[in-house]
A and B are shown apart, each in its own frame.
Chain A
Amino acid sequence: MRQLRAWLLRLKGLFRKDARERELADELESHLQMHVDDNIRAGMSPQEAHRVAVMKLGGVDQAKEAYRDRATIPFIESIVQDLRFTLRQLRKNPAFTVTATMMVALGIGASVAIFAFVDAALIKPLPYQDPSRLLFVTETTPEIPRAAISYYDYLDWKKMNQVFESLDVYNQRGAVINTPTGMEMVDGARVSDGFFRTLGVAPFLGRDFYAGEDLPEAPRTVILSYGSWQKRFGGKQDIVGQTITFNEIPHTIVGVLPQNFHFAPVENAEFWITLHPGGNCDQRRSCHYLNGVARLKDGVSEGAALADLTRIAKDLEAQYPDSNRNQGATVAPLAEVIVGDVKPVLLLLLGGAGLLLLIACVNVASLLLVRSETRRRELSVRSALGATRGRLIRQFVIEGLVIVTVGSTAALVSSHWAMQILTGLIPTQMMASMPYLDDLRLNSRVLVFAIAVAGFAAALFSLTPSLRLSSLEMRAGMAEGARGSAGNVWTRIGSRLVVLELTTAMVLLVGAGLLGKSFYRLLQVEPGFETNNLITMRVTAPRAGYAKDEEALALGRKLQEEVKRLPGVTSVALVDVLPLSYNGNTDWIRFVGRGYNGEHNEVNQRAVSPGYFATLQAKLLRGRAFSDAEDASKPKVVVINRTLAQKYYPGEDPIGQRFGDIDLDPKSIKEIIGVVDDIREGPLDSEIWPAYYYSFNQYPDNAFSVMVRTSRGEQSLMPAVADAIRGIDSRITVSSQTTMAARANNAPTVYLRRSSTWLVGGFAAVALLLGVVGLYGVIAYSVSQRTREIGVRIALGAQRASVYQLILREAGALALAGIVIGTGCAMIAASLMRKLLFGTPPWDVATLVCVAAVLGASALLASFLPARRAASVDPISALRAE
Chain B
Amino acid sequence: MSKTEIWQGTLALMILKTLETLGPLHGYGIARRIEQISGDRLCLNYGTLYPSLLKLEQEGWIASEWGVSENNRKAKYYKLTRSGRKQLEREASEWNQTTAIVARFFVPSGDQS
- Tell me, yes or no, whether B13 is within 8 Å of chain A by CB: no
Contacts of A70 in B (CB 8 A): 51, 54-55, 58
Contacts of B71 in A (CB 8 A): 34, 37
Q: Closest approach, in angstroms, between the C-beta of A2 and any C-beta of chain B?
A: 5
Asked if residues B54 and A67 are in contact (CB atoms below 8 Å), the reply is yes
- Tell me, yes or no, whether B50 is within 8 Å of chain A by CB: yes
CA distance A34 to B29 in the complex (A): 9
Asked if residues A37 and B73 are in contact (CB atoms below 8 Å), the reply is yes
Q: How many residues of A contact B (CB 8 A)?
A: 29
- Tell me, yes or no, whether A445 is within 8 Å of chain B by CB: no
Render A48-75 as a binary contact track against B, CB cut-off 8 A, 1 for contact.
0000000011110011001101110000
Q: Which of A21-29, A172-180, A368-376, A413-421 contacts B (4 or more CB under 8 A)?
A: A21-29
Render B47-60 as a binary contact track against A, CB cut-off 8 A, 1 for contact.
11011001100111
Contact A2 to B59, CB < 8 A, known contacts A26-B74, A30-B74, A31-B26 = yes
- Tell me, yes or no, whether B28 is within 8 Å of chain A by CB: yes
- Tell me, yes or no, whether B75 is within 8 Å of chain A by CB: yes
Contact A56 to B50, CB < 8 A, known contacts A30-B73, A30-B74, A33-B73 = no
Render A1-24 as a binary contact track against B, CB cut-off 8 A, 1 for contact.
011011001100000000000011
- Tell me, yes or no, whether B45 is within 8 Å of chain A by CB: yes
**In the complex, what residue of chain B is closest to A34 when comparing beta carbons?**
B28
Contacts of B75 in A (CB 8 A): 27, 30-31, 34
Render A257-276 as a binary contact track against B, CB cut-off 8 A, 1 for contact.
00000000000000000000
Asked if residues B48 and A66 are in contact (CB atoms below 8 Å), the reply is yes
Q: Which one of A26, A57, A71 contacts B47 once the chains associate, using CB atoms below 8 Å?
A: A57
Within 8 A of B (CB), among A855-877: none
**In the complex, what residue of chain A is closest to B27 when comparing beta carbons?**
A31
Contacts of B29 in A (CB 8 A): 34
CA distance A67 to B48 in the complex (A): 8
- Tell me, yes or no, whether A800 is within 8 Å of chain B by CB: no
Within 8 A of A (CB), among B5-37: 26-29, 32
Asked if residues A9 and B51 are in contact (CB atoms below 8 Å), the reply is no
- Tell me, yes or no, whether A496 is within 8 Å of chain B by CB: no
Contacts of B28 in A (CB 8 A): 30-31, 34-35
Contacts of B47 in A (CB 8 A): 57-59, 62-63, 66
CA distance A70 to B55 in the complex (A): 7
- Tell me, yes or no, whether B97 is within 8 Å of chain A by CB: no
Contacts of B58 in A (CB 8 A): 5-6, 9-10, 70
- Tell me, yes or no, whether B46 is within 8 Å of chain A by CB: yes
Contacts of B54 in A (CB 8 A): 67, 70-71
- Tell me, yes or no, whether B69 is within 8 Å of chain A by CB: yes
CA distance A59 to B45 in the complex (A): 10
CA distance A5 to B59 in the complex (A): 7
Q: Which one of A27, A59, A67, A71 contacts B76 once the chains associate, using CB atoms below 8 Å?
A: A27
Contacts of B26 in A (CB 8 A): 30-31, 34
Contacts of A56 in B (CB 8 A): 45-46
CA distance A355 to B32 in the complex (A): 71
CA distance A63 to B60 in the complex (A): 22
Contacts of B51 in A (CB 8 A): 66-67, 69-70
Render B69-82 as a binary contact track against A, CB cut-off 8 A, 1 for contact.
10101111000000
Contacts of B55 in A (CB 8 A): 6, 70
CA distance A56 to B74 in the complex (A): 20
Contacts of A38 in B (CB 8 A): 32
CA distance A63 to B46 in the complex (A): 8
Contacts of A66 in B (CB 8 A): 47-48, 50-51
Q: Which one of A2, A28, A58 contacts B45 once the chains associate, using CB atoms below 8 Å?
A: A58
Most central of A34, A38, A69 by chain B CB within 10 Å: A34
CA distance A5 to B74 in the complex (A): 29
CA distance A37 to B75 in the complex (A): 14
Q: Closest approach, in angstroms, between the C-beta of B45 and any C-beta of chain A?
A: 4
Contacts of A71 in B (CB 8 A): 54
Asked if residues B46 and A57 are in contact (CB atoms below 8 Å), the reply is yes
CA distance A28 to B48 in the complex (A): 12
**In the complex, what residue of chain B is closest to A6 when comparing beta carbons?**
B58
Asked if residues A24 and B59 are in contact (CB atoms below 8 Å), the reply is no
Contacts of A63 in B (CB 8 A): 46-48, 50
Asked if residues B45 and A34 are in contact (CB atoms below 8 Å), the reply is no
CA distance A59 to B47 in the complex (A): 7
Asked if residues A34 and B73 are in contact (CB atoms below 8 Å), the reply is yes
CA distance A157 to B36 in the complex (A): 102
CA distance A57 to B29 in the complex (A): 13
Render A61-93 as a binary contact track against B, CB cut-off 8 A, 1 for contact.
011001101110000000000000000000000
Most central of B50, B51, B60, B73 by chain A CB within 10 Å: B50
Q: Closest approach, in angstroms, between the C-beta of A657 and any C-beta of chain B?
A: 103
Asked if residues B48 and A58 are in contact (CB atoms below 8 Å), the reply is yes
Contacts of A23 in B (CB 8 A): 76
14 A-B pairs with C-beta separation under 8 A:
A2-B59, A5-B58, A9-B58, A27-B27, A30-B69, A30-B73, A30-B74, A34-B28, A57-B45, A58-B46, A59-B47, A67-B54, A70-B54, A70-B58
Given A5-B59, A56-B46, A70-B58; 5 other pairs, CB 8 A cutoff: A9-B58, A28-B50, A37-B71, A37-B73, A67-B51
